[in-house]
């Protein structure tokens, strides 16, 4: 019998949570070891799943199915295809690195790691579940602990501009995410009843016929619901507040995988189940996507707080994901998925570095830093690496993703492509300016005894930088895995557009 690898993968963090709950509060060493163990295991197992996945076999693989509630057509059904296996690897990487950067947390360690484990179980579960009911379940599992993680261990925004309290940010985030969850539930109920097959199973539903009129009606609802999670303009306002108030590891997870849950949901569920609705609405959402790219970039220029800057750049980059999805071409979709992976890794790197900068300088305001590279070269180099990767420097994953999407866009909507590329130029402006202001220029003597990254602190950023570099140099690692699934996916749209 095969091992149920996918179940094991999402259960590891939950087992870790139980073990952590059983330790005493003051045994910080044991708690940290347990957490690190979970991180290594999840990372390793996600790589094994990636390794075992056979790209040339069609359909879902490593399926597990247990009937859970036959009367309502709910079953515990897991499986991965080329698209989700990449997201699983991404979650594995981020699980490991976010735990590694969490070691600087000092107070209420036990509760912190217990909640973080729940989030990890939720995000992994989302990417592997093939049942809409369990999808909602994992979604909430991933989002509710965020409230406590941000509210208790987060940081307030002080200094220049308006002040934002972390409790308010946490509340805003959770209300937005819950609203999205509610709309998703409504959409799922609609799909369930109108497909007429009495099942919440994603595989069965994707073969059922859903009435076209209903698709046209429900598509924008579900798209917006998942769009809220992924930072779709104009429902993105929770994102900067939430990301920048959160503690480092949670920022990484929010930007790295929570946003991707939205993108993944749009691909897998919204478009996968409602192809007619998608064809009708997609032009509209392509334009919104370009607005996302430009508006996010524009807002990022104005930011004085480093985490806000990264958060707005996330909004800008998620716009590229939406754009790629909206093209229905092989290039576009591959680009979108590539971008999700690459943005997850790169933004996590940037947030990790921003977190370390905050730890060491106790400020997030860019203008209060300066010349830090003199005393902290590792900090400077790694942050700059992340910055270059973000602005799409060739050799990093961001470049490949953006290239794919823009090539696809240019073939179909040249005007939109030109506009979106303008967004990239703005990205270069704000990233380079931030790097210059923080690390170069006159040294701020206030930070005379700043410490550079040392010991275990280097593990997380190094891992992320290496992954971003590998995906940039060997894009086949990603495209090779997802190529087949993307082609299959596009069969519904007549094989996709050029």
Partner 1 sequence: MKIIFAFLPEIVLTFLAFLILFLEICGLAKKKVCFTIASVGLILLIPCVWMSQDFLGNYLKGAFLLDNYAIFFKFLFVVLIFMVVLLGADFMEERTNYIAEYYFLLLMSAVGLMFMVSATDLMTLFIAFELSSIPMYVLAAYFKKEKTSTEAGIKYFLLGAFSAGLMVYGISLIYGTFGTLSYKALGSIFLVGNISPAILLAMVAIIVGLGFKIAAAPFHMWAPDVYEGAPTPVVSFISVAPKAAGLAVIARFFITSFAGISYQWIFLLLLISAISMLVGNLTALPQKNFKRMLAYSGISHIGYILLGIAASSQIGLTAVLFYITIYTLTNLGAFGVLIMVSRYTKSDEIKDLAGLSRRSPGLALILLLALLSLAGIPPLGGFLAKFILFFAVFKEANPVFQAMVLFAIINSVISLYYYLKVLRAVYFEKPQSEEPITVPAYSAPALYLSVIGIVVLAMMPSFYSWISQMAKLSIFSL
- Binding residues among 176-205 for partner 1 as defined by CB under 8 A: 178-179, 182-183, 185-186, 189-190, 192-193
Cα distance between residue 144 and residue 139, in whole Å: 9
CB of 20 or CB of 282, closer to partner 1: 20
Three-state DSSP class for 25?
coil
Comparing C-alpha atoms, which of 112, 95, 99, 100 is closest to residue 150? 112
Among 152, 208, 422, 470, contact with partner 1 (rule: CB under 8 A): 152
- Binding residues among 108-137 for partner 1 as defined by CB under 8 A: 111, 133, 136-137
- Work out whether 146 is an interface residue with partner 1 (CB under 8 A): no
CB of 42 to partner 1, least distance (A): 20
Give the other-Cβ count within 10 Å of 72's Cβ: 12
Helix (H) or strand (E) holding 172: helix 166-195
Among 68, 214, 235, 410, contact with partner 1 (rule: CB under 8 A): 68
- Binding residues among 76-115 for partner 1 as defined by CB under 8 A: 111
Q: Which residues pair with 66 in a beta bridge?
A: 76
CB of 183 or CB of 404, closer to partner 1: 183
CB of 125 or CB of 263, closer to partner 1: 125
- Residues 6 or more apart from 99 whose CB is under 8 A from it? 35, 36, 38, 39, 113, 116, 249
- Work out whether 175 is an interface residue with partner 1 (CB under 8 A): yes
CA dist 375 to 361, 370, 393, 448, 461, Å?
12, 11, 26, 8, 18
Burial class (CB within 10 angstroms; exposed 0-12, middle 13-18, buried 19+) of 321: buried
- Work out whether 171 is an interface residue with partner 1 (CB under 8 A): yes
Cα distance between residue 20 and residue 27, in whole Å: 10
Give the other-Cβ count within 10 Å of 495's Cβ: 12
Q: What are phi and psi of 365, to 5 degrees?
A: -80, 125
Instruction: Specify the stretch interacting with partner 1 by CB under 8 A; choose among 29-37, 86-94, 138-146, 252-260.
Output: 138-146
- Work out whether 144 is an interface residue with partner 1 (CB under 8 A): yes
Instruction: Specify the stretch interacting with partner 1 by CB under 8 A; choose among 3-11, 12-20, 146-154, 464-472.
Output: 146-154
Among 31, 124, 141, 325, contact with partner 1 (rule: CB under 8 A): 141
CB of 45 to partner 1, least distance (A): 23
- Work out whether 227 is an interface residue with partner 1 (CB under 8 A): no
- Work out whether 294 is an interface residue with partner 1 (CB under 8 A): no
Residue numbers of the site for partner 1 (CB under 8 A)?
68-72, 111, 133, 136-137, 140-141, 144, 147-148, 151-152, 167, 171, 174-175, 178-179, 182-183, 185-186, 189-190, 192-193
């Amino acid at each position: 019998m095969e091992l149920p690898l996918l179940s094991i993968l999402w259960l590891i963090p939950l087992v870790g949570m139980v073990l952590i709950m059983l330790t005493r509060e003051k045994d910080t060493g044991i708690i940290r070891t347990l957490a690190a163990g979970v991180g290594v295991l999840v990372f390793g197992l996600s790589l094994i799943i990636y390794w075992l996945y056979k790209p040339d076999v069609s359909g879902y693989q490593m399926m597990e199915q247990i009937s859970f509630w036959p009367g309502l057509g709910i079953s515990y059904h897991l499986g991965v295809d080329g698209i989700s296996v990449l997201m699983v690897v991404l979650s594995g990487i981020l699980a490991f690195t976010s735990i590694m950067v969490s070691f600087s947390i000092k107070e209420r360690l036990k509760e912190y790691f217990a909640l973080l484990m729940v989030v990890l179980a939720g995000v992994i579960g989302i990417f592997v579940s093939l049942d809409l009911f369990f999808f909602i379940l994992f979604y909430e599992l991933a989002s509710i602990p965020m409230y406590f993680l941000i509210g208790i261990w987060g940081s307030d925004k002080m200094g220049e501009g308006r002040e934002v309290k972390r409790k308010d940010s946490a509340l805003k985030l959770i209300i937005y995410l819950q609203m999205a969850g509610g709309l998703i539930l409504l959409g799922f109920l609609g799909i369930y009843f109108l497909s007429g097959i009495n099942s919440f199973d994603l595989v069965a539903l994707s073969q059922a016929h859903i009435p076209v009129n209903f698709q046209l009606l429900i598509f924008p609802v579900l798209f917006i619901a998942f769009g809220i999670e992924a930072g779709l303009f104009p429902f993105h306002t929770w994102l900067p507040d939430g990301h920048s108030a959160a503690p480092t590891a949670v920022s990484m997870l929010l930007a790295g995988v929570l946003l991707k849950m939205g993108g993944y949901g749009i691909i897998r569920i919204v478009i996968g189940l409602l192809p007619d609705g998608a064809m009708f609405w997609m032009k509209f959402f392509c334009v919104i996507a370009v607005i996302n790219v430009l508006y996010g970039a524009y807002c990022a220029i104005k930011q004085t707080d480093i985490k806000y800057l990264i958060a707005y750049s996330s909004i800008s980059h998620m716009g590229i994901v939406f754009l790629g999805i909206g093209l229905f071409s092989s290039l576009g979709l591959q680009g979108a998925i590539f971008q999700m992976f690459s943005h997850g890794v790169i933004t996590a790197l940037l947030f990790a570095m921003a977190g370390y900068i905050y730890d060491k300088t106790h400020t997030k305001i860019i203008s209060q830093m300066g010349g830090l590279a003199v005393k902290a070269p590792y900090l400077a180099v790694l942050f700059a690496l992340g910055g270059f990767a973000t602005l799409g420097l060739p050799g990093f994953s961001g470049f490949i993703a953006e290239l794919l999407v823009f090539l696809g866009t240019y073939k179909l909507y040249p005007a939109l492509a030109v506009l979106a590329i303008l967004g990239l130029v703005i990205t270069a402006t704000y990233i380079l300016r931030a790097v210059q202001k923080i690390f170069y220029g006159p040294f701020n003597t206030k930070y005379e005894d700043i410490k550079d990254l040392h010991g275990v602190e280097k593990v997380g950023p190094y891992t992320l930088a290496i992954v971003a570099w590998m995906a940039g140099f060997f894009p086949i690692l990603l495209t090779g895995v997802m190529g087949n699934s993307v082609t299959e996916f596009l069969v519904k749209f007549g094989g996709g557009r050029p």
